[in-house]
Amino acid sequence: MKKTVFYFIILLAVLITGCKKEPTFTYVPDNTPYDIKECLNELKYKKDVKKDKIDKIVVYKSKKKLYAYKDGKIVKEFPISLGKNGLNGHKIERGDYRTPEGTYKIVRKKCDPRLYRNLLISYPNKQDCIKCKAVGKDPGGLVTIHGQPKWNATGVGDAYTLQHDWTEGCIALPNSGMEFLWESVELGVTIEIHA
């Protein structure tokens, strides 16, 4: 019972904090597969391995699916969670909990002490900025594809987290899917996000 309450409190903290802040790069010691020190070392030292790379990511928000493509063919499919208001249209402003729609690029791989690995997308793009400026809104930013929160590092809570939209606008998938994308995605890969 205490463990369940603990996990609920952690999930509540993740729901409140979400993805909006730039993470600090600090080591969080524990014995789970979630190891930020290892992640940072990969970013610093790992050379691009000659491995099958994907050339496009496509997200369908209504299907709650992310598809990885290579040469026009789907090579992997993953279930996803979205922003808490992710199905209510395109992101309009910072703090609206919507997941953007449009065509973007993967611009950075980053490590986070709360969420398992991140691929930063190029939201807001020029069109997003023009639209938001026209209505006096701040488009926000730091929208990523990321894995699960630290409490779900082993995937024990995937059935729960993937049934709910809980991010602040990011796209969350199982850590196994995030590992695949981390290894297969190079910077500059296109991501299309559809309603």
Chain-centroid distance, C-alpha 56:
15
Percent of the chain with pLDDT over 70: 77
Q: What is the pTM of this model?
A: 0.76
pLDDT tens digits for range 101-135: 999 999 999 888 888 889 999 999 998 988 888 88
Catalytic site residues? Answer: 146, 170
Domain ranges of the chain: 2-194
Distance from C-alpha of 123 to C-alpha of 139, rounded to nearest angstrom: 9
Q: What is the pLDDT of residue 93?
A: 86
Superfamily of domain 2-194: L,D-transpeptidase catalytic domain-like (2.40.440.10)
Cis, peptide link before residue 124, omega less than 30° from 0: yes
pLDDT tens digits for range 137-160: 888 889 999 999 888 878 888 888
